[in-house]
Structure 1
Amino acid sequence: MKAQIDENIAPALARALDCLVQDIGHQVVHVTSMHERGTADTWILSKAASFGVDVHVSHDYHHKSQDERDAITEGNLIVFVLSKSWSPHTFFEKASRLVHWWPRLLNACSTLRRPGIYIVPWRSESRRFERVG
């Protein structure tokens, strides 16, 4: 599986996750390694499949824009959106929590309906990802 991390999440986090998943045959890239900074989300999402991307992780609420939902459908993506409760936390808190969530995200990809948009809650007691699109 290849996942891309959106521009609104630090590239260093994408590199760290990539190091952690390489040995199990996965890849994590930051969108800026494939597209210029500021590239429209609709373009990034619709072209994901052509870059071999299966999963997009973001802090943006892509389900609010019909154009972005259409692009997710075109790219046949699973999009994980970090819930608003992630916002007030520091970089290292977010990094730690995303590493904690990553195995669940990987496992969920085999069972979640695609294309789809799913919310990743801050609290890890929740076992399910809420589908929003």
Structure 2
Amino acid sequence: MKAQLDENLPPSLARAIHQIAQVHDHEVVHVRDFASTGTKDLTLFELSIQQGVRIHVTQDHHHRRQPEREAIARLGLTVFVLAKGWDTLSHYDRAARLLEWWPKIMHVAELTTPGSLFKVPHKRASSGTLSQVKSTQ
């Protein structure tokens, strides 16, 4: 399965996770690998699907804006939003925490209906659960 990290996360983090996740045939890329910095979300989502991406990890809160939610559902992109608190972690702690969450993220993505959104809490994966963001429609 192919996943991407949004531009609000460092490209080096995508490369690091890719090196570990490829053992399970998962590919991890960064949006800057195929889109310019500042590309609007709706365009980015379209480009992502064209690149074979199925999972989008971000610190943006896409679920708050209806056009983005509709595009996520229509395109079948599964989005994982890092909850408030992730931005308070140091670079190394954020990397370690995301790597810790990665198996759960991939497992949920494999089992869920494409087009779903999930919130990833900033606490440790061993004591946290992913929560699905319900549609406001």
Letter in 2 for 1:95: A
Normalised to the residue count of structure 2, the TM-score between the two structures is 0.91
Letter in 2 for 1:113: T
Q: What is the number of equivalent residue pairs in this alignment?
A: 133
Are the counterparts in 1 of residues 11 and 30 from structure 2 also a CA contact under 8 Å? Answer: yes
Q: Which structure 2 residue ranges, 5 or more long, are not aligned? A: none
SS in 1 for 2:122: coil
Q: Which residue of 1 aligns with 2:19?
A: 19
Q: CA RMSD in A?
A: 1.3
Partners in 2 of 1:77 and 1:113 — Cα distance?
Answer: 9
Are the counterparts in 2 of residues 46 and 72 from structure 1 also a CA contact under 8 Å? Answer: no
Q: Which residue of 1 aligns with 2:61?
A: 61
Partners in 1 of 2:70 and 2:48 — Cα distance?
Answer: 13
Partners in 2 of 1:127 and 1:35 — Cα distance?
Answer: 31
Deviations 1:49-75 (A, max 9, x none): 211011000000001111111221232
Q: Which residue of 2 aligns with 1:92?
A: 92
Per mean C-alpha deviation after superposition, the further-off stretch among 94-103 and 113-122 is 113-122
Deviations 1:62-97 (A, max 9, x none): 011111112212320110000002121111110000
Q: Which residue of 2 aligns with 1:81?
A: 81
Q: Which residue of 2 aligns with 1:120?
A: 120
Distance apart, 1:117 and its partner CA: 1.0
Note the 1:104-119 alignment, pairs <5 A: 104-119=104-119
Q: Which residue of 1 aligns with 2:9?
A: 9
Distance apart, 1:14 and its partner CA: 0.3
SS in 2 for 1:63: helix
